[in-house]
Structure formats: C-alpha cells, structure tokens
Amino acid sequence: MSRTASAQWELQHPQPSASWANSETVAGSEREKHSDEEKQTRRDSSLNEVAPASPPTPSVVPTPPPRDIHGIKWAFGVVAILSSVFLFALDQTIVADVQPNIINEFDSIEKLPWLSVAFLLGSASTNLFWGRAYGQFNPKWIYVLCVAVFEIGSAVCGAAPNMDALIIGRAIAGLGGGGMYLGVMMMLSIFTTPVERPKYIGVIGAVFGIGTVLGPVIGGAFADNKSATWRWAFYINLCIGGAFSPAYFFLLPSRDLRPGVSFLERLRAIDWVGNTFMVGAYVSLLMAISFGGATFAWNSSREIALLCVSGVLFIILGIHQVWSNPQHRMFPVHFLKRKDLVVQFLVGAAAGTSSFVTIYFVPLYFQFVQHSSSLLAGVRLLPFIGALAVFTLLNGHLMVRLGYSIPWYAAGSALVIAANAMLMHIDLHTSKAFIYGAMVINGIGTGMYLNAPFALAQFLVSPKEISSAVGFIMCARGGGLAIALSIGNSNFLNLAQSRIQELFPSMDHTQVQSLTSGVGSRLLESLSPSEQQQVLGAIVYAISRVFIESLAAGCFCFVLTLFMDRKKIKIN
C-alpha cells in the first residue's frame, strides 16, 4: 500500500487512545482475575465433593502370622506335642522285645501277632476319620481328645489281666495314637509358614525314628527288670503324657477352622458310614493275613471268609466314596485323579516297610543267635537309629531349600535295596559288623525319603486342603505299615514252623510255636547241640526271608521315581 493511502486509512479509522487501551487492559485483567478466582473456588468445591467418592489408593494388607505365640512358649509347645510323636512311635515297636514275657505270663502264643498288629490296626483304620475331624473342629481340642484316648488305651494295656484285654488296650491306644500323630502334623502345618514347615516335618520324622527304634530298647529294659516288669512299657505313657498335659491346654494355639458353623453341621460333615466300612475292611484283611497259615490253614473256610469279607467291604467302600457327597466324603477321591499325589501316596505306603521290618526282626536275630538280652538286642539297633534320625533331619531341611525331590527318593530307595539285599543273606555265622553296616545303610536310605511325602503333598494342594493331604498320606503310611508287618510276621512264623516241623516231626504244634516265639528256651536247651543248631538255622532262615519284603518295597519306590514330576519345588 502507498504512504498516501495509508494516511487516509488512519484518518478514517482512528486508533483508540492510550488511556482507553490501558483501562480496557486493566478491566480485562480484573475480569480474568475474578474468573480465575471463581474457577479456583469451583475447583476447590468440586474437589471437596468428589474426593470422598474417589476410590482409595490400594494398600498392601499384611498377611496375618500363622500363630499368636512365639519364642519360648512356642518352643515348649512344640516340644510338648513332639513328646506325643515319640510316644506314638515308641508304642508301635515297644512290644518287639517284651513279647516273650507277655506270652510266658498269659500263655496265649496263638495270639502273638496281635500284640503289634492291633495297635497298627487301630491307627490305620481311623486315620481318615481323624483327618476329617481335624478339618471340621478346632485342631487343638481334637488333639487333646486323641491324647486322652491314647492314655486310656495305655492304662488298659498296663493293667490287662489277660491277653484279650491287652489286645483291646493296644487297639484303643492305636486309635488315639494315630489321631495324636496326625494332630501334630496338622498343627505344625497350620501354625507354620511354608518356609518353616519342611523343617518341622523333618524334626517330626527324626523324633518318630528315635521313638520307633528306642521302643525295643525301653521295652527290653522293663522286661529285664523284675521289679518293673513289662507292664511299665505301657505305664510310661501315662507319666510322660501327664508331665506335658499342662502345655496341651495352655500353650497350644487355638483356631476354629470353620467359624460360624454349628456343631451338628460339623458332625454331619464327617463320613460315618465310610469310616465304618473302612474299619471293617481293615480288621478282616489283617485278621486274614495274621491268622493265615499260623492259626488257620490258608484254604480253611475261616480264612477264605475273612478274605472275601475284606474284599467286599473295600469294594463297597470304594463305591460309597465315589457316589457320596464330595463335601462329606471321608477319602479325598479327587486326589486319585492327580498323578503326583497318587505317587506320593504309594511311596508313603511303602516307605516305612524297611524301617519296621528291621526294628522287629534284627533284635530277634540277636536274641536267638547271639543270646542277647532284651535290652541288649534293642541297643544293637542304635546304628540304625542314628543314621535314620540324621538323614530324616537333612531331608526335611535341604529338600525344599534345594528345590529337588527326585534325587532323595532315587538315592534313598537304592540304598534300601542294597541294605536289604545284604540282610537277606544273614545266617548263623554272619558277623555283627556286617549287620551293623547293613543297618546304617538302611537307616540312611530310609531317612532320605521316609517323611518326604508329607512335605511334598502339602505343596501340591491348596492351603484349604492341607488337612486332607496329610490324612491322605497318613492313610497310606498307617495302612502300609499294618499290612507290611502282618505279612512279615506271617511269613516268619509260617517259614520257621514249617522248617522246624520238618526237622522234628514228633513235636506238636504248640512246641513248634514256642520255639519260634522266643519263649521256648527250656525246650531248646533240652535238645542236643546239633539239634539246637538246626532249630536256630531254621529260625534265622525265616528271619532272612522277611527282608525280601523290604527289598521289594525299595524296588517299588525306586520305580515310582520314574513317574514323579521333575519340576523344582517353589515356595510362594
């Protein structure tokens, strides 16, 4: 545009004066200031109105501790319940060295197998019942109830006037003892963290091993003491239980696992029908195994009837469990659909065989061949107990920390196979060093995986199913031990009696039984030295054949390692 045109445009459109412009600017600034104040006021009021309705910032809720007691109180409470593990293990084997004294007093040699089997029967047939009860009620008070039942059974045994009363007392003690042991497993699973739990289970295994092996030692000490007699092998339970009873009431944590549920609803949640079938099936099966050959001929009508009844009851039990209410059934059927839990169940059933066969039959060998007293025969088991206790503790401490379980199972079962292959070849001239070496190897191998199924089963299930998992493995352990010991006793008696009967056809059945039970010393001394060697040779051969059962159990566990998951154990 030209300068003349620009001047004309300014004359026609004059610019506002500076004062006007400034006033407008001030006014605009004032309006903007008021507008900003209004906006701030609205913003503040809106914040005041909206803030409470806005979702709060999420915060991390701390996990409640598993127990409400710590320090010395918790330590003493653990020691108290571990004493019941010791007593339960002690009672399983304490009759191993007092059997001759009991038979001498009651003169009932035909009922000899029931001294050991009755206790295991009471325990094995009720494990699932107690497992269900612990899941429904406060574990502390169910545990106290089981301790009371165990002590009542021990009192009946100590005061028994005859063999039948002693067998009934043993069954009652087994009923309470099984629940007592399961209760310790339950409480140490509920009131410990996943990191702590394997260590506690390892301690349980070590205490159980010590009690199991010291059973013959303590029983033998009482049997050799004329002032105490064999009855104190059972009265000792009352003394130890009474000493720790205040801790059971005042130190153990208390927790209701089903708050708000009525007592009747809890009772209805227990499978009473299934438990009845279970007890009947176990009793008839163990009676058939224990009486077969030694008391009744295997082809006798009584023996066939017992086997048939047992088979029918187990079939009915299986059908009942499959079709019953899943919320109330006794046996966790859904666990059978999982390969990892089934493998742990089978290992749990077979793992204890090597330890119990050793504990029952090695002292018998020393009594017959080395002429050891009851006490000394039990003391000779100490190499086994030391190895078993140490490696059970190591397994509980290291297996979960390292994260791998298969090496423990494979190496342990391989050592069990080797040890029992050695024990199968013992005879009258076998050295004590050879037997001690075999027992140490057996203790190491057994300790490496004896209690591992209890720890692993709890990692394989959800927290709410821990009680079912513990009962599941306890069912396998108790049933496996009862059946294994029944088979071992039956094999020993049948082999020894048949061989002695062949050597001395003129002896009647009672005389042959007295020789094989260890109470026939006078009859044995009346024979010539060569005849004594023949009898001892027959007995030692029968003892050596029993270790085939432990060898088979070790092979079975080794094969099961092929079906285990190779995943590393992870603690959440």
Entry field: residues in the chain: 572
User: What would the DSSP string read from start to end of 455-482?
Assistant: HHHHHHS-GGGHHHHHHHHHHHHHHHHH
Give 3-state DSSP helix, strand, coil % of the chain, rounded to 5.
Answer: 75, 0, 20
> What is the reported pLDDT for 105?
81
Write the pLDDT tens digit of every residue in 527-544.
788 888 888 888 899 999
Burial class (CB in 10 A: 0-12, 13-18, 19+), 481: buried
How far from 415 is each of 194, 384, 395, 554, CA to CA, in Å? 29, 13, 15, 8
Q: Rounded CA gap, 261 and 273, in Å?
A: 22
Name the CATH topology of 66-270: Growth Hormone; Chain: A; (1.20.1250)
Q: What percent of the chain has pLDDT over 90?
A: 20
Q: Rounded CA gap, 471 and 327, in Å?
A: 15
pTM of the predicted protein model: 0.74
Q: How confident is the model at residue 68 (pLDDT cuts 50, 70, 90)?
A: low
Contact 93, 218 (CB under 8 A): no
Can you name the residues that pair with 296 across neighbouring β-strands? 292
Domains 66-270 and 332-571 share a fold: yes
> What is the reported pLDDT for 66?
64
Q: Distance from CA of residue 561 to its chain's centroid?
A: 20
User: What is the three-class DSSP state of 430?
Assistant: coil
Q: Is residue 9 over pLDDT 80?
A: no
CA neighbor of 479 nearest in space, from 358, 378, 331, 337: 331
Burial class (CB in 10 A: 0-12, 13-18, 19+), 155: middle
Q: Which CATH superfamily is domain 332-571 in?
A: MFS general substrate transporter like domains (1.20.1250.20)
> What is the reported pLDDT for 7?
42
Q: How many CB atoms lie within 10 A of CB 397?
A: 15
Q: Rounded CA gap, 318 and 564, in Å?
A: 25
Burial class (CB in 10 A: 0-12, 13-18, 19+), 43: exposed
Q: Is residue 19 over pLDDT 60?
A: no
> Residue 107 corresponds to which tokens in the numbers above?
């003169």
Q: Rounded CA gap, 283 and 300, in Å?
A: 18
Domain limits of the chain? 66-270, 271-329, 332-571
Q: Rounded CA gap, 167 and 153, in Å?
A: 10
Write the pLDDT tens digit of every residue in 200-242.
877 887 788 788 778 878 887 887 777 778 888 899 999 998 8
**Residue pointed to by tokens 């020894």:** 496
